[in-house]
Chain A
């Protein structure tokens, strides 16, 4: 389910230790992998541009055969572990990352497995292509549009009902108030709207909830109205509205038709959000030459690895393919032109950043998070903040400040030492969530 299409399995481009351990399904697996990554435990290890294999001596009579297909990456091991990837596959990757696995010909069992896998992947791709073709069938398209129209009309009526009878009741309401609406939207094939409505159940438990709930309802109403007059909207805005309602664009289409931007893309932050049995990884990029922000998403069910190919604090020469929209942001790495190297992103002062955000909102008013890279900012306590509480803000050389969301302040304080640093994070209307920091003397720090 990874968005990544680019391959990066070349011998000269071996992953480093952090990248390998980033694939571990949990901390215990990462630790166990370190224990298995001993050359003495392995026989017949080898690799080529696409794959890596070896036999690990375990406690049993027969060794475990582990194999990694580097193009996905995909893993297989003959051990009975239910962890995925298991410690043998990870340990093998660690050895390879250390450079202790040499290139060589594939043994028959590894070759056979990789062929099987490739064949299965091809069949799956054909099935997906078949489904996509069906989705493009005019009759299917028409049926879906009708369903979505119905769901949108129902949502509009529901929103107006809430405001007619007053939001005060929301404070005591059970999550069902929103969940029922969300379910009906799922039935109406408007998954985007459903997700937004479901998330609202958490709002009445937060401080200042009436205002926040009204903001969310108002923006939903704006989306509903925009969708209804979609035929009159400019193409980009129409795509933005359609994607927020829940019409997805196929990855293959994005790679084939999406806007391509080649740049030195600096990875400025990464954040994993687990929800409903699905973990989403948001990786924020910033183009060195274009100054453009980009967002690469990957998804995994718990226990499965997320995309670890983009490492915060590095920069990679790559071509991105952007999803369509009035303010393109989400993208896929279509092609990589070299290995990632450590880099500090170019940032802006606070005022410059807020201008950029305002301009982005003009193109997409529903943007509720936007990547910030602020340079030359120091941590400070907001005015009136008491000693002992740790709500922080960052202040630039001009004395302009931005509030930070309340999170654990200690890494930010430790790594900055109270001195000017570059801070990257996610900006939300309520403050910035810092994700990474670059200091002059010690480089990148993941927050």
Chain B
């Protein structure tokens, strides 16, 4: 190819042969004799350009190779089976997109990864939806991290995957924050004291948000040995660090912090023998007197001046909570629950049913403060006996957030039973829905039974199926209910031989069969 000759032709053509002569081709490259040549410069220019163009195209040489893209590391996991891959493609195109996290988790649980060709579409989904990211990180494989390293839009995957950057102490010195957190979590699991010392060595050099992130790892292997470190952190400059330290201390059995809180709580709550109505049978009552002032000591121990929920109701339709009540709830939430079983010399189930009063007499507000405080304490201290007692007593039936928290304390199987009980008591009111939203799937056993029974009962009273609450329950069940429940729901629709199955129920059955097929493909 003769680039000079070609560019001469281009510049002649740009200006026009009326103004610029046609460049001459070297003798050896001349055109075969053509009619009209000589008298028509434009035609000659075009003919020569055609020759050069075809020669240029036909004479194309391979280009110089640049820098190859560094290859991705070898995968540990196999790609999912073809049927599962085809279904993933459908999901990524938008068909039932909400099952995506379940698909990803199931694939990871079975030791599979997402086929490499689908990674760009998948990583793009995680870019817009943070909630998907943990599941994506589990199933994207090493190729996913490799790809994310080359596209800043997908950087969220880097450092969050199964590749936490090695297990050596060097990670603690040089790693990124997620890598260092992962290192601390592992070390807390094996040797909590060593992890504490590693953190203590760099504590003063870390930025406040980092200190909070590292301190949060203390929830793994929390023990009395951590107490001094946490007491020290109560005076940290970072607000999040102080809050975290007080929360951790409140969960530490037998700590000085717990004793301080218990002392405060006991000033507000005491047993009293009463007879109501006057002259009736004498019973143990709980007399409640919320703290009347706020002091620096309370602040140091992590009780905020405006606890969340004070002044404004925490739930729709709830009552606003005054500041004094809110302080009391915070104190109770941080007081070791053993304080109460010792004070009343009774089991939790007995304590939660005691009646409450203020100095003025029986008082529903006082009872609510007590139960709310205890529920939060049971969640923080992972106390299953108290959680069970509070759930069974029904005292918190209209506090869905607290109920949901208590459910989370119970071991998996019992949680389903307890949630099922809640459904039976509350039918399918909006509060039950709020609780159920917090119960992760798959719903099996008694919980599945209760959900199906609720839907079935609504189906029999055909009008109820159009009720908002049941429709929402169906929608939630689409994602959470175990797919094995589908045949029982189908029986509901066919029992009466009518075609008028409600759209919500039909959608639920569809979703369950979709998920059933999906999980079967991944279990191969």
Contact = CB atoms under 8 A, between A and B. Distances in A.
Interface in B228-266: none
A221 B43 contact: yes
Contacts of A35: 510
Interface in A360-419: 361-362, 365, 378-385, 393, 395, 399-403, 408, 410-411, 413-415, 417-419
A159 interface: yes
Given A214-B13, A411-B117, A414-B116, A400 B72 contact: no
A164 B499 contact: no
B69 A414 contact: no
A445 B117 CA distance: 6
Interface in A1-43: 17-18, 27, 31, 34-35, 38
B46 interface: yes
Nearest to A366: B54
A401 B16 contact: no
B57 interface: yes
B31 to A, nearest CB: 11
B345 interface: no
A380 B146 CA distance: 15
A375 to B, nearest CB: 15
Contacts of A399: 65
Nearest to B89: A18
A441 B74 CA distance: 11
Interface in B54-105: 54, 56-72, 75, 79, 86, 90, 93-95
Given A219-B50, A381-B69, A410-B147, A401 B63 contact: yes
A203 interface: no
A215 B69 contact: no
A167 interface: yes
B40 interface: yes
B510 A38 contact: yes
B54 A442 contact: no
Interface stretch (A127-135, A191-199, A257-265, A349-357): A349-357
Contact of B14 (A17, A168, A222, A395): A168
Contact of A385 (B66, B115, B147): B66
Contact of B13 (A34, A166, A415): A166
Contacts, number: 183
Contacts of B40: 160
Contacts of A217: 13, 46, 49
B177 to A, nearest CB: 24
Given A163-B16, A210-B10, A222-B50, A415 B79 contact: no
Contacts of A415: 116-117
A189 to B, nearest CB: 24
A354 B69 contact: no
Contacts of B34: 225
A161 interface: yes
A311 to B, nearest CB: 13
Contact of B117 (A167, A210, A414): A414
In this complex, the member of A162, A215, A361, A382 whose beta carbon has the largest number of chain B beta carbons within 10 angstroms is: A215
A166 B19 contact: yes
A215 B13 CA distance: 11
Given A166-B13, A382-B63, A414 B147 contact: yes
A166 B16 contact: yes
B47 A442 contact: no
Contacts of A380: 65-69
Contacts of B90: 34
Interface size class of chain A, counting residues whose CB lies under 8 Å from the partner chain: 35 or more
Given A167-B14, A417-B143, A445-B117, A219 B66 contact: no
Contacts of B58: 357-358, 361-362
Contacts of A163: 13, 16-17, 42, 45-46
B151 A379 contact: no
Given A164-B17, A221-B43, A418 B68 contact: yes
Given A57-B499, A380-B66, A439-B116, A164 B42 contact: yes
A104 interface: no
A395 B69 CA distance: 10
B53 interface: yes
B65 A401 contact: yes
Contact of B62 (A156, A350, A362): A350
A390 to B, nearest CB: 9
B150 interface: yes
B120 interface: yes
A59 B408 CA distance: 43
A442 B147 contact: no
A206 interface: no
A401 B46 contact: no
A165 interface: yes
A138 interface: no
Interface in B13-27: 13-19
A46 to B, nearest CB: 22
Contacts of B115: 442
Contacts of B147: 410, 413-414
A382 B71 CA distance: 16
B374 to A, nearest CB: 49
A408 B124 CA distance: 13
A401 B64 contact: yes
Contacts of A107: none
A211 interface: yes
Contacts of A408: 120
Contact of B71 (A57, A211, A361, A417): A417
A389 B49 CA distance: 33
A382 B56 CA distance: 20
B515 interface: no
A211 B6 contact: yes
Contacts of B67: 380-381, 383
Given A57-B499, A164-B42, A167-B14, A379 B69 contact: yes
A429 interface: yes
A218 interface: yes
Contacts of B117: 411, 414-415, 437, 442, 445
A395 B65 contact: yes
B223 to A, nearest CB: 45
B136 interface: no
A103 to B, nearest CB: 25
Contacts of A18: 86
B391 interface: no
A210 B57 CA distance: 17
Contacts of B62: 350-351, 354, 400-402
Nearest to B499: A57
Interface in B259-290: none
Contacts of B45: 163
A442 B52 CA distance: 43
A177 B61 CA distance: 35
Interface of B: 6-7, 9-10, 13-19, 34, 40-43, 45-47, 49-50, 52-54, 56-72, 75, 79, 86, 90, 93-95, 115-120, 143, 146-147, 150-151, 499, 510
What are the 4 closest A-B residue pairs judged by CB atoms, nearest first?
Answer: A166-B16, A400-B62, A218-B49, A417-B72
27 contacts: A27-B94, A31-B95, A159-B46, A161-B42, A163-B16, A164-B18, A166-B19, A217-B13, A218-B46, A354-B61, A354-B62, A357-B60, A358-B60, A378-B71, A380-B69, A395-B66, A400-B62, A401-B64, A402-B62, A408-B120, A411-B117, A414-B147, A415-B117, A417-B71, A418-B68, A418-B71, A439-B116
Given A166-B19, A408-B120, 5 more contacts: A160-B40, A163-B45, A393-B65, A403-B63, A442-B79
